[in-house]
Chain A
Amino acid sequence: EVQLVQSGAEVKKPGESLKISCKGSGYSFTSDWIAWVRQMPGKGLEWMGIIYLGDSDTRYSPSFRGQVTMSADKSINTAYLQWSSLKASDTAMYYCARRFCSGGSCYLGSYDIWGQGTVVSVSS
């Protein structure tokens, strides 16, 4: 089964650093784009950015550029999202999602495989 498995819930204090992961299984993701999506408590989805696992080419939403860093290790089919200094406002569920491709075409803004989500709680 093709799936994305995310790392477990995190409880952190403001100012701490954090790196969460998203590991693909079921086939090789090295030619895939993986997006990160935030959902703050009681709110909608927000697209944070996307990374190409093949060469770590990255695109950030203007709202998140400079706030987080996306990286990837294609040798282990894993994408990462990291913060150098967390804020309470980073408290949210974070999803990774694979860009949808079918029949040789890939579709902008469409994501067919989602991770189960990682809850990040930041509080003093």
Chain B
Amino acid sequence: QSALTQPRSVSGSPGQSVTISCTGTSSDIGDYNYVSWYQHHPGKAPKLIIYDVTQRPSGVPDRFSGSKSGNTASLSISGLQAEDEADYFCCSYAGHNTFVIFGGGTKLTVL
């Protein structure tokens, strides 16, 4: 099964909002509400920021929010800060044969 499709890059200025899309199929994102998002600063371990499409783990600011429509999930970041500059990966459960797939990653640049 192919990776989920994300834009290669997005950008925004401090204080602005950005949205990162993650497109899958009816066999993964479209069929399950098990989408997660990770923030990955190069050289560091990825960090879980959204699980189950919309839920934030403890300690993740509410500037980060997730949503889903059909086969596409989205991560929105409001009030952009310099430290938000990182790679963002989406991830979805894809059933009992494929199990889990990731997106290709999106590089967020804070201008």
Contacts and interface: CB of A to CB of B under 8 A. Distances in A.
Contacts, number: 75
Contact of B45 (A44, A50, A102, A114): A114
A114 B97 contact: no
Interface string B71-111: 00000000000000000010111000111111111000000
Sorting the interface of chain B by its residue count into under 10, 10 to 19, 20 to 34 or 35 or more gives: 20 to 34
Interface in A65-124: 95, 97, 100, 102, 107-112, 114-117
Main secondary structure of the interface of A (DSSP, over half): strand
B3 A109 contact: no
B102 A44 contact: yes
A59 B51 contact: no
Interface of A: 35, 37, 43-47, 49-50, 59, 61-62, 95, 97, 100, 102, 107-112, 114-117
